Structure 1
């Protein structure tokens, strides 16, 4: 079941990459919904489940909450490290303009390294889907919705960052294909093992922290960057409300 559901992540990643080649004016609405789904899944389903399975305290703080904060911090450190590498190679401070004028040469290997990190992230998404289905079908569906919704952004960014640094189109498509297959491989790997309840709860808490960071620091700011519209806000609220509905029905 988890592998079958992960095919949705495969298709959504490819769709994100396809959209990156044909950017439309409605992308901000899709990202707004994706951010809402991710926030809803993390706060309304993943975290409560993690607390139930791994709620014993460590120095006065529930283990699941510690891992939630840990997931947030790990995602932040990884993102900031990659950002520092981008800056070192001129990815910021007006690089696009300088590149157009021939004053800046971008390093293709940087784009490939960032894309490879995104593939690794997608692999962990698949493992999260499989682990969630081990906790129950309702949990699995909720996590799958969150993963599938943000895989649009993963596909979009994988293709964009690979080509942005001067890599050939075939390499960008190859990295997009790897990012699309990664969730399926990750979900399939969970058929080979079963996580103990406490370990499963710990992982779900950690993954909830990662989701909140991606939604708050990446997806939603990107959604509002060029289109700070009320419609985008409504899409985000709608995404959270949808997860609340799904969670309620699953219970």
Structure 2
């Protein structure tokens, strides 16, 4: 099962990269749906499951919720420090951050950072299956739905100010294969529930940041809002239905 879902992540990443090279017309609907799915997985599966895995509450706060806040903050700090994702704030406000324009070697650094991020996505798949098949499937689904955006952003960043697409193709392939290696690593390393709960909470925080700060703003940036909102709502409702049927 782990091999199968990591292969799906591989294919989804490639699809996102190919879309960046060719077609952009319906990308906003795909990203809107992906954002809804990720929000649903965080709210309806990862957070409840992480709270069930461990009851430890340092400082009176459940350990998974500390992990959740840490995961959200960590990705925000990393984004600001090494420009993992291109900023989109200039589409909503008159000011423009210095890192909103990435090009040349900085674009390659961005794309390379996304490869590392994909490796950790794969590790999350492996660890998710350690806590149970259902959790593993939902973690894998969360990874798969945002790999399209990762593939797209990898090609976009690596291609900035470059006529030669070979670096973009190489980095896209590296991004696509990274979850497979990460999933294998996450399957081999055994993690106790006391650690797995906070880890899943941290992964939920990372997913929420990706959905709220990157994927959904990008989905709404230049396209009509109504259809994108409908796609997001559809993704959220789909996860709620799947979770309710699973229980």
Per the normalisation by structure 1, the TM-score is: 0.89
Alignment correspondent of 1:194:
190
Indicate conservation of the 8 Å contact 2:45/2:243, yes or no: yes
Confirm or deny that 1:160 pairs with 2:156: yes
After the TM superposition, which of the residue ranges 229-238 and 149-158 deviates more from structure 2? 229-238
1:216 aligns with 2:212: yes
> Are the aligned partners of 1:32 and 1:223 in contact in 2 as well (CA < 8 Å)?
yes
1:98-247 → structure 2 map (5 Å cutoff): 108-166=104-162, 168-247=164-243
> How high is the TM-score relative to the length of structure 2?
0.91
| In 1: Cα distance, 2:217 partner to 2:189 partner | 37
State how far apart, in whole Å, the 2-side matches of 1:107 and 1:62 are: 42
The structure that has the greater radius of gyration is 1
2:9 aligns with 9
Supply the distance in 1 between the matched residues of 2:23 and 2:63 (Cα, whole angstroms).
42
Structure 1 position 84, deviation (Å): 10
Asked if the contact 1:28–1:224 (Cα under 8 Å) also holds between the matched residues in 2, the reply is yes
Q: Give, in angstroms, the shift of residue 90 of structure 1.
A: 6.4
Pairwise CA RMSD = 2.0
Tell me how far 1:146 sits from its aligned partner. Answer: 1.0
Match of 1:54 in 2: 54
More off after superposition, 8-17 vs 140-149: 140-149
d(CA) in 2 for partners of 1:23, 1:126: 27
- Give the distance between the partners of 2:201 and 2:55, measured in 1 at CA: 10
Q: What are structure 2's unaligned runs of at least 5 residues?
A: 88-96
Q: Return 5+ residue gaps in structure 1 as ranges.
A: 96-105
Give distance in 1, aligned partners of 2:4 and 2:85: 36
